[in-house]
Structure 1
């Protein structure tokens, strides 16, 4: 693949992730993704012969990896600092986008596809959520939390962050996110002593 072809492919995946975060799964079409990426529509089908499903899976995987890398980076400073950093990252996304952007992974997890059954798309979203939980579990375990409790805290953290994003987008207000962040921070600080 030439550098130019690779750039086109990367732009399409990035555009798909951006559009999923802003508009959701069903409002994101191949045509609009190509337009957002400033690429010819034919390039989309060249790079993604399986169509929208293939592009969405790659976009979810990319978005999940980016957020996961941020989580990894923040967790290097310990669970409490890592959680604060992860929350700050999502808080900035909400504020910078004026509450128009959410989580592209959540977008595909909560919408029923309009076309064919997209189990592969849901599997990609589930894999991202499991990855984030796994990173949190490892950090919590390193801080002495039991495996069962680490799993419960990790699930609670991921679900709480995703839910707070939804509340903020609906209310166009950061207050729900800040309340959830404070409670999660207090919970983790108390758990790890």
Structure 2
């Protein structure tokens, strides 16, 4: 693939992630995705022969990798610092879009895929598993037993993702703030044991 082709493909993936975080996958057509990313409609099927689900899976992986990159960097300082960074990302997303955008990974995960094509949902599961593994490893490095670290990591991801959905529905950041306070206390206590 040429450099120009790679740039066009990447622009489509980033545009799809943005549209999905705002409207969900089922409410977004391939035509809208290509228009939003300023790409010709035909190029979608050229770069993504599997169509909308393939593009969505790539968009989910792209969004997930951006978050994972921040988590890897911040978790090096400790689980609480990683949690704060994770929360800050979603705070910025929710407030920066006036409650119009959330997590594209969650958006894809909760929508029913077309019969026989679970590629986008599978990508969402991979991303969630990666975030949990990163948090769990950071907790383990601070002495939290593996089973407890895994459970706490799942709690963090589920609580933060759920609070983002609540913030959007209520058009209020309070759910994220409440979850932040509780999760920080839980992780601090786990690491202090």
Same fold (TM over 0.5): yes
TM interval, shorter chain, is over 0.9
Aligned twin of 1:162: 161
Query: Structure 1 residue runs of 4+, over 6 Å off?
Result: none
Q: Encode CA deviations 1:78-112: one digit per residue, 9 max, x unaligned.
A: 11111111111111111101111111010111011
Match of 2:23 in 1: 23
**Structure 2 Cα separation of the partners of residues 36 and 72 of structure 1:** 30
RMSD in angstroms over aligned alpha carbons?
A: 0.9
2:64 corresponds to 1:64:
yes
Q: Aligned residue for 2:148?
A: 149
Counterpart CA distance in 1 for 2:133 and 2:161 is: 16
Q: Are positions 1:100 and 2:95 aligned together?
A: no
Q: CA deviation at 1:59?
A: 0.5
Displacement of 1:49 in angstroms is 1.2
Q: Which digits, 9 at most, give the CA deviation of each residue in 1:21-75, with x for residues without a partner?
A: 0000101111001000011101111111111111011111111111111111111
Shift of 1:118: 2.5
| TM-score normalised per structure 2 | 0.97
1:107-146 → structure 2 map (5 Å cutoff): 107-113=107-113, 115-146=114-145
Rounded Cα–Cα distance in structure 1 between residues aligned with 2:87 and 2:116: 33
| Structure 1: distance between partners of 2:63 and 2:159 | 18
Indicate the SS of the match to 2:134.
helix
What is the aligned partner in structure 1 of residue 179 from structure 2? 180
* Unmatched tracts of structure 1, length 5 or more: none
Distance 1:23 1:29 in 2: 10
Task: Kindly indicate whether residue 26 of structure 2 is the aligned counterpart of residue 14 of structure 1.
Answer: no
Once the 2 structures are TM-superposed, how far is the Cα of residue 116 of structure 1 from its aligned partner? Answer: 2.8
- The residue number in structure 1 matching 2:74 is 74
TM-superposed deviation, 1:117:
3.1
CA distance in 1 between partners of 2:120 and 2:34 (Å): 19
